[in-house]
Amino acid sequence: MSNSVTLTHHRITVLLVDDQPMIGEAVRRMLSSEQDIDFHYCPDPIQAIKMANQVAPTVILQDLVMPEIDGLTLVRYFRANQSTREVPLIVLSSKEEPVTKAEAFALGANDYLVKLPDKLEVLARIRYHSKGYINLLERNEAYNALLESQQQLELRNRFIQQTFGRYLSDEIVKTILETPEGLKIGGEKRVVTIMMTDLRGFTSTCERLPAENVVNMLNVYLEAMTEIILKYHGTIVEFIGDAILAIFGAPLMRENDAERSVACALEMQAAMTTVNQQNCDAGYPEIAMGIGLNTGDVIVGNIGSRKRTKYGIVGRNVNLASRIESYTVGGQILISQDTLLACRPILKVHAQMEVMPKGVKEPLTIYHIVGIGGEFTIYLPEERTEFFELAPPLPIRFSVLEGKHDNQAFYRGDVLKLAQHEAEIQAERGFRELTNLRMSLIDRKGQEVSSELYAKVIENVSDSPPVFRVNFTALPPEATQFFRNLLEGTRISQAGSSS
């Protein structure tokens, strides 16, 4: 799209207003040989303004003595008329009259000639005054054209921001529009805090719902999370299905990038209550989110080819953020030690643990964060898990998930205690914390209720016998209903025995 503007080429246009046709003919003859001059004659002063609006003169010659309208009054009319207000006006008189001349100049006339003047003098004055007026017109046109071009550019940029702002963060769009090198492929090393989020068990939820419901449920979640991330000046790099990749520190770097990322994560977790309420009102199941944060060097910038480019980040610290997020359970925020140190001592740490992510040579300490002080002061409500003892225990069968794959080795165990999202299990062997399990739920009659339960080991209670606690990361509806009925029956039974 070109922003160039073609300016109008102005010719000299003369309008003579004089009630004497003889004067009109004389002036016409003077100008007839001039190729660059257009001549118009008006013998009726009452029609003069109307004719001037039609022909757009660059100079007006006007008699001072005319019937019906006094010449000085016509000067006033020309100066009051919008289209002739700035047009040079040369008044014609039969003789030199200093008082009349002075009054004409006072009313806005630009020049004074005693008629009938010499041809050379008339041409000289017409060209002199027209040149100045044409220059003024062209300057005004150039200014108006520039103003229009700027307005068009602002409209285009606003359209780009509104359109592509739905696919990119506003700061990325602004950087591309305002920086000459904004679209250049390449990146720079930058210290940022990377945020990875994911919905626990969302894949299995998708398999049980119509596609339209899945998209609607996801949109409710992403809409809420996007608003919070942008509120804390985070840059959303991309949505990966139900996952969000965002960074704090690029394209704009601020002193408190790491702190803002943690505050943002806490507000996002707090907002899940509202998200789930909206989903429940629409008849969708509840969802839970895990968030991982890591701070470190990355390469950030425009990545891709000339035909397909995206603003992205690469580097081991991005992968590490993803690994940290994979250890979370629903409602949890885990951060690296580098993020903890970057935030100074204003974080409330609920627990810490050592993990050995794939591709890392030494154990990594990660921290479960439940609050931040300082200028943010955001704390998640303390959750107290209420366990109910099952008598007799509930049989269960499970296998260990390595990555996304089941290792096909099955183990048996019993659910000793049950809570809304957690369980305490005694098994034939123990498992290290953060181990992912796939479970088959069996009822009291030995019938399988569901084989699609997923859980993560969150605590080892005892080694002999092996007892550990798990957090359910995905519960199909039949398992949810079964546990709900089981817990309700247990509550009634325990309440009856206590009374």
Domain match, 372 and 411 both: no
pLDDT value for 1: 42
- Per the domain annotation, does 369 fall within a domain? yes
Whether residues 369 and 395 fall in one domain: no
Is the pLDDT at 499 greater than 60, yes or no?
A: no
Instruction: Identify whether 177 is part of a domain.
Output: yes
Same domain, 238 and 192: yes
Whole-number Å distance between alpha carbons of 261 and 238: 16
Distance of CA 212 to the CA centre of its chain: 25
Region class of 494: left (phi > 0), else alpha (psi between -120 and 50), else beta: alpha
**Residues 85-106 pLDDT 10s:** 899 999 998 878 888 889 889 9
Residue 176 lies in a domain: yes
CATH of the domain at 199: 3.30.70.1230
Nearest to 97 by CA among 66, 74, 64: 64
- Taking all residues of the chain, what is their mean pLDDT, rounded to a whole number? 86
Q: Which domain holds residue 423?
A: 388-498
Same domain, 302 and 187: yes
Please state which of the ranges 22-31, 88-97, 148-157, 348-357 shows the lowest mean pLDDT. 148-157
Q: Binning pLDDT at 50, 70 and 90, where does residue 118 land?
A: confident
How much is the pTM? Answer: 0.65
Please indicate, yes or no, if residue 164 is contained in any of the structural domains.
no
Is residue 233 within 8 A of residue 260, CB to CB? The reply is: yes
- Whole-angstrom distance, CA of residue 113 vs CA of residue 116: 8
- CATH number, position 102: 3.40.50.2300
Residue 496: its pLDDT value, please? Answer: 56
Do 183 and 286 fall into the same domain?
Answer: yes
301 lies in the same domain as 398: no
Q: Which two tokens stand for residue 51?
A: 């004719």
For the cut 70, the answer to whether the pLDDT of residue 75 exceeds it is yes
- The single residue listed with the structure tokens 């100066």 is 79
363 and 410 assigned to the same domain: no
Asked whether residue 158 is assigned to any structural domain, the reply reads no
Q: Is position 375 within any domain?
A: yes
Domain count, the chain: 3
> Is 308 inside a domain boundary?
yes
How far apart are the C-alpha atoms of 355 and 194, rounded to whole Å?
Answer: 19
